[in-house]
Structure 1
Amino acid sequence: MMADRARRRLLAQLARLGAAGAALLAAPLTACAADSATAGASAARRPPAGAPPSARCPWPLYQQFVARFVQADGRVLDPSTREQQSTSEGQSYGMVFALIANDRLTFDRLWRWSVANLGGGNLTDKLPAWQWGRRNDGSWGVIDANPASDADLWFAYALAEAARVWKVPAYGEAAHALLGLVAKQEVTTLPDFGTMLLPGPQGFVDGKPDGPRTYRLNASYLPVPVLRRLASFDRNGPWGALATQTPKFIEAVAKQGIVPDWSGYRAGGDLVGFVTDPVKGDVSSYDAIRVYLWAGMTPSADSASRTLMRALLPNAQRMEGRAAPPEKMHADTGALEGNGPPGFSAALLPFLKAAGLPNLAPALAAQRTRAEAMVDAPPGPAAPAYYDTVLGLFGLAHLEGRYSFSPSGQLEMEWDQSAKREGACRGKTT
């Protein structure tokens, strides 16, 4: 009955659109169009039945991301930075979004640019540099060659999943090469704690091997679903151990549900254990917002989910009655500062939903409305910034059902599922 009413509304809307509507009326009504009848005139812009699933199910925020931040050569640009930088993080995230969008052309462009510019033409014997852009002397190239381990994992994940869903073995080979380097250069063992991921090969361990040492760690570098998938893809690697350690790490550093951007771990001497980061302190902001995003996207069937949500739940409850997430929180004191950008709202959507508390339904609705404003923002100064768009792509698309993670970490994507079952587009399409 509901489908019939939606169909009638859509037909009436298309009829009012004149010639454009008539063209669509002559074509079979797709499930994608029927489910989006309330989108009004935007339905007239849909391709006809028979188009590829990615074309039938448009993703406006992804289209904005590609148009505004992806150059023709495959460079993901953050124009808000002085260096006009591109990062390994941005390139790897872009590849994940392209996979979710079933956009292999963009996926390939991003990967080729990354190999050529972050890897000097080869990423089988080295990890990608994390930062590329305009140097102080005005030239363009690598600014900081030290890799970033979160991007390295996301690169490998995107390649492994692309190899699986697009059936391209070369992607899988590239993923295995990267993971071998990550395991060798960026994975360590914390005394009295166990396996852990360093943020990069250099600069995150202070002290001597035979004396007291302080490790600097970043909880947002460890999305459990990614680690689950890598554990099955590379069975001899440390990824399963890291997936087990991640909720323990987050539980240890979260205070009042607040996870700091950076954490310290001290080993040797009189003190062994987690401490406030000696460089960044206890602040929780632009890095740590992703901890809540990854936790919210971790399937409830994953054994890590319960520990993560228990440790972070106070921060979900903190959102009750707030117009926006705090821009900064302090793990040691619980102090809050300012309002975060709309990307923060998007990042919290899967987390607030996963919390499953009835009293948080208004907070979920309010943050969704705030995040969705990014989709409709006109070009210009009001358009969402690069990082807001990235967080929006992850958080909104997950809430809309464009993708999810299986308990094994595989991507379950709307285009792939709808192609198998002739399903509907579930996302916001206006």
Structure 2
Amino acid sequence: MSRSRYKSLVDAFAVDIRSGRLPPGTRLPTHRQLAASEGLALVTASRVYAELEAMGLVSGETGRGTFVRETSLPPGHGIDQPDVTAGMLDLNYNYPSLPGQADLLRTALRQLALSGDLESLLRYQPHGGRLHERASVARHLAFSGLNVPAEQVLIVNGAQHGLTVALMALLQPGDVIAVDALTYPGFKALALALHLEILPIPATENGPDLAAFEKVCRSRSVRAIYSMPTLHNPLGWVMSLEQREQLVAIARKHDLLIIEDAAYAFLVENPPTPLAGLAPERTVYVSGFSKSVAAGLRVGFIVSPAEKIGALERIIRVTAWNAPGVMTAITSAWLDDGTVSRLEAQKRKDAQTRQLIADELLAGLHTVRHPSSYFVWLPLSEDARADQVAAALLREQVSVSTAQPFATSVHVPHAIRLALGSVDVVSLREGLAKVKRVVEAHAWA
């Protein structure tokens, strides 16, 4: 087949899709059917669909076929911050805030202005943060069952920066890192940017399939595992102590680095011991205060084995030099006076209230969630397509995420994730009612 003929077929499909003659959700002919109808070699028919998929116009789904994609969704929907227009209900991102937090900031700034330490905040800080501020974080972590010396805590510019520092310092391009088949999109994007090979681990209802994890460790040269054992994003599981001990045993057997993400762990009361407490010699624990306090508070921290501190500090210096002095000083003061603990308790209660609203308004739909989390995973029926549901909700002025940004395997489930923490409860009720109506309409379509 000539290149012009091959390109003409790709272009014809593209025109039909963009014009709406082939609407979203249309099942296209199989590769063999296309080859037969157009007089093509099978490999050429596969190339046609591959190019259309690279253009973002179709998606091939194992066992189901090739479908026209919904092209009205914003690019990277669920990863890039969308332009949320006036009247749009944002159930895509979580930036939970409580009444009165702005007043807390005003008070903190006034107190900081009256302190005798302002001069020091105008200078460069130690790369890992000032020791008394690291000690504030260490004392706070003790309430979560993680007892570490201040010297093993490093302050960074938010949890995402902490993950960046950990990967850059401790892994090399080409290293294989095991992750859940559905995982935090920010980590997925970071690992790909750093040229790490992501190895998806299947999920069960209550955590990763550790038997599958053990199996891949025997067959592949896995270097590390990224885990969210306490309030997984997006599935909301909390791994049991037995599961954690089993994961640690596998990591020790195969000499793996463990990267533990605890961004949402504060929402769970009395969780099992963190992985960093069970395997302190090989676990890098990363979290921050964007969810527990405020999204604009770009202060995070890393807890690391002592021998890795130097490598981590070098990457902090390379990527940011040091944490923001003013914000870190405010965070440290809030840790010491109990403000952070109070906000965490209030947000646990707030998340529980929002989950009760979801109980009511999503009744009858299958959901996967934790009763004190800020998100809901909503698997769709076999006949429904996530991109069409998300696009229909956008037309209803509701923004949600599909499974695409979370998926690390070839198979992307048809599901949507609902973030409950970024709108007031009245708007949340309105948004969830629309979600149920749209999902049910697509289920019966």
- Report TM bin, short chain: under 0.3
Of structures 1 and 2, the larger Rg is shown by: 2
Larger relative helix fraction: 1
Instruction: Give the structure-1-normalised TM-score.
Output: 0.25
Instruction: Give the structure-2-normalised TM-score.
Output: 0.24
The higher relative CO (CA closer than 8 Å, separation ≥ 6) is in 2
